[in-house]
Structure 1
Amino acid sequence: MKKYDLIVIGAGPAGMTSALYASRADLSVLLLDRGVYGGQMNNTSAIENYPGFESILGPDLSKKMYKSATKFDAEYAYGTVQSVDNNGKIKIVHTDNGDFETGAIIIATGSKNKELGVPGEKEYSGRGVSYCAVCDGAFFKNKRVVVVGGGDSAIQESIYLSQLASEVIVIHRRDQLRAQKILQEQAFKNDKIKFVWNSNVKEILGDQMKVTGVKVLNNKTNQEHVIDASGVFIYVGNLPMTEQFKDLSITDEKGWIKANDQMETKIPGIFAAGDVREKQLRQIVTSTGDGGIAGQNAFSYLQTLK
């Protein structure tokens, strides 16, 4: 069983920053992720609120962070974590690629897109239903698409899609957006973006091969109507990716990890950073802040074991 001082689970902005700080402190660090580094940054078209960049593509920022994260010899490996054993000073991380021993763990697994849970969503996933405009937007060039949601992600990706699609219809269950004002202003000025307010998607329609539209219910008038569309992009919130840590009893009732402002969970030596935490603001900049604190405090904790 390979041993490390610290294992960072998740290679998004929080995980990569944690690895940077811990490896700079001369810890042996394993940065472990089930996919490519960068997390949801790779699904983001343009990042305009990260200090130092007027605008940068999500995948480009991911590459820059990864270069920093591994500069001081932190190792990177693919692996899906299945469970964690807490044996006091020694912790075992079980993955589909074997087990690893460590003195401390930083959980930075982030969150995933929440599903609508309506008929047609699963049936047409990958055939018109998407949760990533950057990944799938090119398939809908010069076609009408629907975006469901009213937060930052929904509006940011609507703006991106407007460069490809003939028309973008934003469906939101309220009568005003939750997105940042600057994003709202950009969307309202965009002639290709239209809004359907006070409405919920009740069903995603298709011809058995691909999406053809959505059935929408106005929650004020209780009237239904159909919007023809070739694609449906869903941005209605996030769910924590913490199922593999449930036996540690460090999550709240919704699955978010409970950690204090030092990124400490109730288990000594297990820290949490980034979007996986129970907190209000989930942004790249807050994730990197969490990661720096977690990496430094993991180092301090390990010093107490000597």
Structure 2
Amino acid sequence: MMSEKYDLIIIGGGPAGIAAAIYGSRSRLKTLVLEAKRKTGGQPATYHDMENYPGVPETTASELMDNFKTHAEKFKAEFKRGQVAKIETDGFKKLVKTKKEEVYEAKSVIIATGAEPRKLGIKGEEEFKGKGVSYCATCDADLFTDLDIVVVGNGNSAVEEAIYLTKFVNKLTMIVIHDEGVMDAEKILQEQAMENEKIDFVWNSTLEEIKGEGLVEKAVVKNIKTGQKSEIDCNGVFFFVGRVPSTDFLEGVVDLTEHGYIKTTKQMETNQPGIYAVGDVRDKVVRQVITAAGDGATAAVMAQGYIEEEDYWQNNVLQADKEVIVAFWSVTDQASIDLVAKLENMDLEAKGYKFLKIDTYKNRLISDRYQIEEIPTVMKLKGSKVAEKVVAPTEKELKNIF
């Protein structure tokens, strides 16, 4: 199958991916966002409230994500539906293949696949999925209007979603593993939950089992201190107990942590040149919309630099029809300036060479690839092979190179 070609392909349409699309397409990179789900927006698209995005004091999470997408489309970023099954790399060329066997070619790839809701695997959880068990308040809240539900979890997401659910349900019981009054959520969210008349708490407890005849009817709760079990009558159970990174398709492509998150540098670089990871899918401490957007912006800027650097090297060195002399230098280093002046006065073009200057500060990737540790360094290449490499060459060493 013929592949469609792009400068930049972003896998995942959450805040990190769309922010990368804004920066990439605005830099005139032909940019594609591949999103596996019907609606773009990632994890925030499943939430309702959005109170902590700077400069936007009043909005919903889905409205904010819609604005992200509109912004990217303004700069001609493309959005397509597709679940990626594989990424293959061949130097500068990356092939992104979907489960429907669509193939897209890119010079750079940004992975923004985020994370999926964590499942506890308790008895009844899988059986009642879609029959009272849910992982998304925004998706399913209206199905539980005037009914009683249980929420499992006590972090920011759990408390935020519980507060949202109280707009629909009759009563909500939060099962919290900690001692009374102790929760993992931010203080302001804890206060809002404690003050909400529809929310009750069961402390020092875990959910043991979900029961029902066709639909959820009861939640079995166990006190972790006494071991005593009790049943709560309910019509639904919502789980908000963390997330698992969506990296199954990346095994052997990029380095992962033991928990499946992608290892990156602070520049969002993976161990594969030209492949970056952003947002909740990468190994990081803070996972918020604002930090995800920052990751996306950083990765897109880095990808642009990578593409420009690689394009230049491919066109002027690897595809050159003659031997190439490359001077690795810096405008802040006097020895570099002196050497470049000498080389420019040697009329190398007339001698059958192509002459290039590579600023090691601006072209870090090329410099690292050829292990340039000191400047000035002169290198002679025949195609992709290094024929000569000399650090701070003397007059005699320069003559020997030619």
TM-score calculated relative to the size of structure 1: 0.98
Return the match for 1:71 from 49, 71, 74.
Answer: 74
Return the match for 1:152 from 156, 163, 166.
Answer: 156
Please say if 1:48 is aligned against 2:51. Answer: yes
What residue ranges of structure 1 are gaps of 5+ in the alignment?
A: none
Letter aligned with residue 32 of structure 1 = L
Helix, strand or coil for the counterpart of 1:26?
A: coil
Letter aligned with residue 192 of structure 1 = K
Helix, strand or coil for the counterpart of 1:179?
A: coil
Structure 2 equivalent of residue 118 of structure 1: 122
Please say if 1:257 is aligned against 2:262. Answer: yes
Aligned partners of 1:255 and 1:96: how far apart in 2? 21
Q: Identity rate of aligned residues, in percent?
A: 43
Aligned partners of 2:150 and 2:5: how far apart in 1? 48
Please say if 1:187 is aligned against 2:198. Answer: no
Helix, strand or coil for the counterpart of 1:18?
A: helix
CA contact (8 A) 1:9 1:33 kept: yes
Helix, strand or coil for the counterpart of 2:251?
A: helix
Return the match for 1:38 from 41, 61, 65.
Answer: 41
Deviation by residue 1:168-205 (Cα, 9 ceiling, x = unmatched): 10001112110111111100111111111111111011
Letter aligned with residue 263 of structure 1 = M
Aligned residues: 305
Structure 2 equivalent of residue 227 of structure 1: 232
Aligned partners of 2:99 and 2:211: how far apart in 1? 37
Helix, strand or coil for the counterpart of 2:217?
A: strand
Deviation by residue 1:8-54 (Cα, 9 ceiling, x = unmatched): 00000000000110111111111111112101111101110111222
Aligned 1:231-246 pairs, distance under 5 A: 231-246=236-251
Please say if 1:203 is aligned against 2:204. Answer: no
Helix, strand or coil for the counterpart of 2:252?
A: helix
Letter aligned with residue 96 of structure 1 = K
Give the greater-gyration-radius structure (CA): 2
Q: CA deviation at 1:96?
A: 2.7
Aligned partners of 1:38 and 1:167: how far apart in 2? 29
Helix, strand or coil for the counterpart of 1:46?
A: coil
CA contact (8 A) 1:46 1:55 kept: no
Return the match for 2:280 from 275, 283, 294.
Answer: 275
Helix, strand or coil for the counterpart of 1:47?
A: coil
Letter aligned with residue 156 of structure 2 = D
CA contact (8 A) 1:250 1:258 kept: yes
Aligned partners of 2:14 and 2:165: how far apart in 1? 24
Q: CA deviation at 1:140?
A: 1.0
